[in-house]
């Protein structure tokens, strides 16, 4: 029996449920040097966290995140709270010598992110590992996209086209949940979902965004106050009260970008794309071919190989379920699809593997800081109405 | 200026309009040894045919098809009437030394088809050409499918799957138009649209159907009598009268088949596939790959090449608009689609080319007879409830 | 904490892994009257079953399936072995008063299936529940299909079109694994995958197949003997030895059918559809609309509503991830896909719910017997080359 | 017989061929107050224009465009030349009292476009009609998109997403054809194809672009000089000589925009999107629904109706071939597709109709000027790296 990796998780809402499923599942499908153990879950509400522990399958629970860090029987702290608490928890955990898995975005401000990245770098010297949770990298089709680009299969990348489209707040009576308040969420569509397509496109292209021109928009400026704080899934119009408050984040963010490898790009993140529930699309056009990913069909990757004879060329719909596709040898026979939650299982697989063999997993806190700097450049460009450079890490 | 091919067309409804557009267009896009001239159009109604001549662009018109055949200034007779008149007109035209283009199905009975095939074969010796109008062969994606099979790109064909799905008579109050009466149309979905997928699959595979097991169904046994005879496009519920008559043809025909090259097949032709207006799908699975055609996306062909590395394999959506795709060099730049009517323009292109160079075009009347024999075997199997062999030509 | 349902599972290969993931997960996402406990796993190889217990997360293990049935701490026996052992294990388990979950096909012969169905019916009186594992019913899009049909949304069903396409034995050097031997597997594509589309189409239409005309084919009659017995996923060309044996099952089975509610149907099950890994497609055409399901895009259902204004009509691609879609309220926010394994989690959800509230789950052993009788009629028709009636249950 | 509209066309390359097909066809399918007559075609090369007249079916030909305008037997001048000659020809034609059809872009500079718009407005008073050729408006699916928006079916428009993707110059050895030289073409992808998506999006939304932030890129700065001047279709690598010249236009143009009705938008026009031959995609998200058009499937429109019950919602693929869809009653039965060239036939239909009934067709030269002003704002923004307002017409 392999050595254990004892996990303490802070936060148990949407991301907490996804991470729990991943921790529970990862060793059942992957052969790994460490075996995850779901030791303790933490949340602010005593009743809520007790129920979550039972439902999600954690051995114990607490309302004090510092207790999670202080425990000797916790090796890794998994941070699934809103962004305004990431820095404090992560810094304390790293200081205590715990490995840290932190959901994205790394922090709500560049200053916090810089401090976290520095702390993570310092901790590396002591063998303490840290990782930021950009789970979409671990969708097999996205990992395959990266592999094909890295192998030169589409040549020099000319164009990147990325959108992340949701529609959960199209209704103007949808309440003012925490994700719509800047002091908790940092930003709106930009940081919540825009961060994902920034990470995905930089990951698959191997290029970094160096400058942007941007706009943001808040279509619905005020919304009913929620009767009580609610997570994404719990929030609904029925929970709305009569009083209204200001939406202090962006409903949508659009930007153009130049990447350091010569590609040019368009990005769009919005919560107002009616009919698109979680519509991530990433397209790459290169000198030798093109690649298209669409999360609505997350088990597929479209690949255009311009080196084939002209009459044969076409966008090939690769069903990314073969044993020689990333992560897929662990799962079912070809043609048997996987789902959203598997991206987290793959994330934990890579994290456990890295900890077990003594390497630093990716994306690091420094990688996540760079994404924060892109978000910051987007915000500054939207305000200044000018092209704006992304600051150096 | 090239020599003329002077055409006389009998019938001016749906097929007549499609053929007219083809005759008008073919020399504008293709370089051919002969130049088509739209000399005379023939129909039963004096007013109708006069209007059609003006609208469709024929120089003269008549109500007597024998006059078309008798005219010295007609080189080719194009038969666009319902199937019950094909034999008489075609036999007379061949006897008069006119080339013949005959719409499918060749005839309403095997006996007639045999007589026509024999006459066409005899006429060949005198340099008189004949062709049956299975236009879907000339859709570029279908022609490309044939080319890829013939080049061995999908290896030995194991499976054929062909459906022709329409829905224009789902409404039980749709009137009893001529296509629903056996004495005029010969059969229902089977001969009207089933014949097309029989031709297409035999054409693309290079194999012939040798035995079948079949069923036919008439879901709506009686329908309102139409107030007046009407073509497909003119017919509508509003034209229905109170009296009802028996539907004497099949609404749907389904059959399994064995082909002489070892493939096994499923076929379905129906006018009751709600939502499918002209839904032709042909799928081939071979030992080295697969091909899929769907007429709703007629400019595309899906090709699975199982000789590529496993991780690259997928159904490739070939946009069949490249100059090195069949027929397409004549048209627009890549990516600029063509439509249904172009299949007829290509048909006339191949016919004119064959006449000009002195060759026999395909499909010949004998090819069309063979399709008639398949239809006959399907009908006999549906009655006998047994596997039934297709008779020899 | 809810009462436990203690499970003993026999067999731990492909189906065993899928069931294990379902048992592990079901109570984490669904609120149920009983809590599943993975008590014991059974397999023939001592080392294999020990490893499987560790990997799949079972508390104990054994090589004797009778021990599983004898244990007091087992409430339910989950049978995941090949079909030749289903009857003996299930009959013993039912006799011992254990609930039984049996993978499909229920048995390898009609006689066995009849005996099992009778035993299951008798056991019902004692509160012993049994269910056959046709998991594809529990794909949310398939369940939604059933719901829309039952609500009359597509009217009277005219056409059923069902294919189950795989390609894992296209290579003639793929070895002679157990699924290709009649004495173990009962039949080939017919029983293995054809059974699934029989169940799915009967489930969604609410109609039963009453007669068939069929054909079967074995394209590759001999194959290399495998060096050792291997499951589906483990089997590969590399495991082949020089000696060859006879393939004694069908590679493909095709049949036409009449259903008792007036629909007519085409069915095809094959392991020779190159490029289709697990390609299940079910299409229904009704008098008021149509429905299409394709497992390659298992989170989608296409619905054509012919009661909408004509100009608005089209096949609507419903992303079946909304809380008001079957099973989906338990999972992630809209737009976050689920995978193949979730169909088993839903299966166990329904089974646990039924046991907990004291109802009989579906499909029952009698339902599974009826499917066996359809398979039998297909086999008899393929031999007799005649339309053949399905025997009564 | 209806009165004639006698046409003189200047230019006979790609656009000339498309217009010729439209003039030849329009009266064969549409009932119109005037009948088009293809009187004269004009081009610079005596041999070329003579051949074109024969091939394309024009009665006479000339090398002097002024002669076309001077002829008494020409009622309308159709300008199909590159953009640098539009202004001179159009102004002369309008002055001579000829109706004018001018291909897009209206001119190569704002100054020219302003002069043309003023002249066209002045000519209206004399009953002289003018129109600019943005043909994609006349694709039935695009016209249906406009109709659905205008009927309020998607509510208030939040997002516009438009791309026009081509790949014909990805090869760096593709020669320096006229479309790559600023002095002839005005701009590159921006004016050639970007202009189309500006027109399409403004047309379907009913909103005008008021400000932009933009970037342009020339990926391949020098190219081989062509051995001789060549049109789009004739140009090929084989025509390249050793000497190279500077590409003086953009290969790609990207911009964000604000529209005057509150929508925000992303635009991309490129000739470097490998695998996309003529890939126009326009997406709209509104408060009540969404619409998607993709030219690769030009006979389809996707419509998401968020006013349907949640469980029924989905993107509906409307096959735009019904008689109650724009322009389609004139063509074939439902499900029989049309192609690229039909957009021109519809353009001429609307133009002839307007002339016949004495109304001004759209888009007018003033509409085209406004598009030119958007192009100009894009160019200025790309230079200044600032958000830039579109000038007033």
For residues D130 and D205, membership in a common domain is answered with: no
Are B242 and B304 contained in the same domain? yes
pLDDT the model gives residue D114: 98
Residue C233 has pLDDT above 80, yes or no: no
User: Is there a single domain that holds both residue C311 and residue C172?
Assistant: yes
pLDDT at B241: 61
For the segment D120-148, the average pLDDT, to the nearest whole number, is 97
Report the C-alpha gap between D245 and D247 in whole angstroms: 7
Do the domain assignments include residue A74?
yes
Q: What is the ipTM of this complex?
A: 0.95
Are A195 and A332 part of one and the same domain?
Answer: yes
Q: Residue D121: pLDDT above 70?
A: yes
Closest residue to D28, CB basis, from B1, B55, B336: B55
Question: Quick one: B275 and B187 in the same domain?
Answer: yes
What is the DSSP secondary-structure string of A304-369? EETTS-GGG--EEEEE--STTSTTGGGSSSTT----TTHHHHHHHHHHHHHHHHT---SS-HHHHH
Contacts of C250 in chain B (CB under 8 A): none
Last residue within a domain, chosen from B111, B136, B161: B136
pLDDT of residue C227: 73
In terms of Cα–Cα distance, which of C222, C123, C216, C130 is closest to C169?
C222
DSSP state of C328: G
Those residues whose C-beta lies under 8 Å from the C-beta of residue A85, and which sit 6 or more positions away, are A10, A79
Question: Would the CB atoms of D28 and B20 count as touching at under 8 Å?
Answer: yes
Task: Specify burial of residue D151 (Cβ count, 10 A radius: 0-12, 13-18, 19+).
Answer: exposed
Counting beta carbons within 10 angstroms of the beta carbon of residue A386, is it exposed (0 to 12), middle (13 to 18) or buried (19 or more)? middle
Per-residue pLDDT, B228: 53
CB contact under 8 Å between C316 and D318, yes or no, is no
Give the tokens for residue C371: 């499917």
Confidence of residue D242 (pLDDT cuts 50, 70, 90): confident
Nearest residue of chain B to residue A148 (CA atoms)? B312
pLDDT value at residue B242: 77
Among B21, B57, B336, select the one facing D340 at the smallest CB separation: B336
* pLDDT value, residue A241: 60
pLDDT of residue A234: 43
Please, which residues have CB within 8 angstroms of residue C204's CB and are 6 or more apart in sequence?
A: C142, C145, C146, C149, C282, C284, C291
Would you mind telling me the total number of residues written for chain B in this entry? 393
Domain containing residue C105: CATH number: 3.40.50.720
3-state secondary structure of D313: coil
Element (H, E) at C224: strand C222-226
Cis peptide before D105 (omega within 30 of 0): yes
Structure tokens at B316: 């490739």
Q: Is the pLDDT of residue A240 over 60?
A: no
CA-based nearest distance D354→chain A, Å = 37
**pLDDT reading at C192 higher than 50:** yes
Chain C hits for D302, Cβ within 8 Å: 314
The percentage of chain D sitting over the pLDDT mark of 70, rounded to a whole number, equals 96
pLDDT (mean) for C304-311:
97
Within B14-109, where are the H helices? 14-29, 46-56, 65-70, 86-95
Inter-chain residue contact C168 with A296, CB threshold 8 Å? no
Q: Are residues D121 and D178 in the same domain?
A: no
Mean pLDDT of B322-343: 98
Domains of chain B: total = 2
State residue A295's pLDDT score.
Answer: 98
Q: Cα-atom radius of gyration of chain C, to the nearest Å? A: 21
pLDDT beyond 90 at C241? no
- What pLDDT shows up at residue D238? 53
Q: Name the average pLDDT for chain D.
A: 95
**Residue of chain A whose Cα is closest to the Cα of B325:** A311
Using a pLDDT cut of 90, give the percent of chain C over it.
95
**A99 shares its domain with A179:** no
Residue D269 confidence (pLDDT) above 60: yes
Task: Give the pLDDT of residue A12.
Answer: 96
- Asked if B81 contacts B10 with a C-beta cutoff of 8 angstroms, the reply is yes
Place of tokens 């079957």: C326
How many residues are given for chain A?
A: 393
Q: What is the average pLDDT value for chain B, to the nearest integer?
A: 95
The answer to whether residue B202 sits within a structural domain is: yes
Domain identity same for D202 and D126: no
Span A100-123, mean pLDDT?
Answer: 96
Mean pLDDT of D118-123: 98
Q: Is residue B199 part of a domain?
A: yes
Section C121-136 average pLDDT: 97
Q: Degrees (nearest 5) of the Cα angle D378, D384, D386?
A: 75
Query: pLDDT tens digits for B27-64?
Result: 999 999 999 999 999 999 999 999 999 999 999 999 99
Which pLDDT score, from 0 to 100, does residue B231 have? 46
Which of C302, C310, C325 faces D322 most closely, judged by CB atoms?
C310
For residue C48, give the nearest of C60, C63, C58, C69 by alpha carbon.
Answer: C63
Q: What is the overall mean pLDDT for chain A?
A: 95
**Given this model, what pLDDT does residue B227 score?**
73
Q: Residue B1: its chain D contacts at CB < 8 A?
A: 54
pLDDT given for residue C351 in this prediction? 98
Hey, which residues 280-309 in chain D have their CB within 8 Å of chain B? 295-299
Checking DSSP bridges between strand C3-10 and strand C34-42, what pairing results, if any? parallel
pLDDT score of B239: 52
D227 confidence band (pLDDT: 50, 70, 90): confident
Can you give the pTM of this predicted structure?
A: 0.96
- State the pLDDT at residue B364: 98
**D3-10 β-sheet, strand order:** D60-62, D34-42, D3-10, D76-79, D99-103, D130-133
User: pLDDT for B144-164, tens place per residue?
Assistant: 999 999 999 999 999 999 999
Would the CB atoms of D315 and C317 count as touching at under 8 Å? yes
| Relative orientation angle of helices B195-205 and B365-384, to the nearest 10 degrees | 120
Cis previous bond, B161, omega within 30: no
Task: Give the Å distances, CA to CA, from B380 to B83, B127, B377, D5.
Answer: 20, 37, 5, 58
Given CB atoms, is D268 within the 8 Å cutoff of chain A? Answer: yes
Both A60 and A128 in a single domain?
yes
Q: For residues D350 and C56, give the distance between their C-alpha atoms in angstroms, rounded to a whole number.
A: 69
Kindly report the CATH number assigned to the domain that includes residue B238. 3.30.360.10
Based on the fold, state whether residues A206 and A291 are members of the same structural domain: yes
What are C323-373's pLDDT values in tens digits?
Answer: 999 999 999 999 999 999 999 999 999 999 999 999 999 999 999 999 999
Residues B206 and B286 reside in one and the same domain: yes
- CB spacing of B317 vs A313 below 8 angstroms: no
Return the HEC string of D185-245.
HCCCHHHHHHHHHHHHHHHHHCCCEEEEEEEEECCCCEEEEECCCCCCCCCCHHHEEEEEE
Of B79-88, B120-129, C240-249, D377-386, the one with minimum mean pLDDT is C240-249
D chain contacts of residue B298, beta-carbon cutoff 8 Å: 337
Give B78-90 pLDDT, tens digit per residue.
999 999 999 999 9
Residues of C in contact with B168 (CB under 8 A): none
* Average pLDDT of the residues in A54-67: 97
Which pLDDT score, from 0 to 100, does residue C234 have? 43
Contact check, Cβ <8 Å, D252/A159: yes
Percent of chain B clearing pLDDT 70 (strictly above):
96
pLDDT beyond 80 at C296? yes
- Neighbour tally for C361: CB within 10 Å: 18
Quote the CA–CA distance of D188 and D392 in Å, as a whole number: 23
Question: D157-213, pLDDT tens digit by residue?
Answer: 999 999 999 999 999 999 999 999 999 999 999 999 999 999 999 999 999 999 999
- Determine whether B363 is exposed, middle or buried from the number of CB atoms within 10 Å of its CB (0-12, 13-18, 19+): buried
Q: What are the pLDDT digits (tens) for D51-62? A: 999 999 999 999
- Domain ends where: B108, B136, B164? B136
| Pair D94, D151 in one domain | no
Residue of D289, D255, D295, D257 lying closest to D277 (CA atoms): D295
Write out pLDDT tens, residues D341-369. 999 999 999 999 999 999 999 999 999 99
Listed residues C135, C164, C186: the one ending a domain: C135
> Which residue in chain A is spatially nearest to D172 when comparing CA positions?
A287
Q: Is residue C332 part of a domain?
A: no
Q: Does residue B366 fall inside a structural domain?
A: no
> What residue numbers bound the domain in which A78 lies?
3-136
The SS3 call for residue B327 is: coil
Average pLDDT taken over every residue of chain C: 95
CA–CA distance, A19 with A77 (Å, rounded to integer): 12
pLDDT, tens digit, for every residue of A350-378? 999 999 999 999 999 999 999 999 999 99
> Searching chain D, which residue's CA lies closest to the CA of residue A163?
D161
Contact C339, C14 (CB under 8 A): no
Q: How confident is the model at residue A242 (pLDDT cuts 50, 70, 90)?
A: confident
A363 located within any domain: no
Amino acid A227: pLDDT: 73
Q: What is the pLDDT of residues D375-384, one digit of tens each?
A: 999 999 999 9
Residue to test with chain B: of A312, A320, A324, A325, most B Cβ within 10 A: A312
**Any domain includes D352:** no
- Decide if C211 is inside a domain: yes
């Amino acid at each position: 029996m392999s050595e254990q990796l004892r996990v303490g998780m802070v936060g148990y809402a949407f991301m907490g449920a996804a991470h729990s499923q991943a921790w529970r599942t990862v060793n059942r499908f992957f052969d790994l040097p460490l075996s995850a153990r779901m030791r303790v879950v933490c949340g602010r509400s005593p009743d809520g966290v007790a129920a979550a522990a039972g439902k999600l399958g954690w051995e114990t629970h607490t309302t004090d995140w510092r207790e999670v860090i202080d425990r000797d029987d916790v090796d890794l702290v998994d941070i699934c709270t809103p962004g305004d608490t990431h820095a404090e928890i992560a810094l304390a955990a790293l200081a205590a010598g715990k490995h840290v898995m932190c959901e994205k975005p790394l922090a709500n401000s560049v200053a916090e992110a810089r401090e976290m990245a520095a702390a993570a770098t310092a901790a590396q010297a002591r063998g303490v590992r840290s990782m930021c949770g950009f789970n979409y990298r671990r969708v097999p089709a996205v990992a395959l996209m990266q592999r094909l680009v890295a192998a030169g299969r589409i040549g020099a990348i000319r164009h990147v086209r990325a959108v992340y489209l949701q529609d959960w707040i199209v209704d103007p009576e949808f309440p003012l949940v925490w994700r719509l308040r800047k002091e908790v969420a940092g930003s709106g569509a930009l940081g919540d979902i825009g961060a994902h397509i920034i990470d995905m496109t930089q990951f698959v292209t191997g290029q970094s965004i160096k400058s942007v021109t941007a706009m943001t928009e808040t279509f619905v400026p005020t919304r009913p106050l929620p009767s009580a704080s609610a997570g994404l899934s719990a929030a609904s119009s029925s929970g709305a009260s009569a009083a209204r408050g200001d939406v202090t984040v962006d409903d949508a963010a659009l930007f153009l970008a130049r990447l350091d490898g010569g590609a040019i790009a368009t990005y769009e993140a919005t919560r107002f794309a009616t009919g698109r529930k979680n519509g991530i699309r990433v397209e790459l056009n290169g000198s030798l071919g093109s690649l298209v990913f669409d999360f609505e069909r997350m088990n597929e990757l479209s690949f255009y190989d311009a080196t084939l004879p002209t009459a044969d060329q076409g966008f090939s719909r690769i069903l990314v379920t073969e044993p020689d596709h990333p992560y897929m040898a662990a799962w079912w026979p070809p043609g048997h699809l996987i789902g959203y939650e598997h991206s987290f299982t793959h994330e934990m697989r890579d994290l456990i593997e890295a900890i077990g063999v003594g390497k630093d997993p990716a994306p690091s806190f420094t990688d996540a800081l760079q994404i924060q700097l892109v978000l910051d450049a987007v915000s500054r460009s939207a305000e200044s109405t000018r092209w704006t450079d992304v600051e150096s890490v």
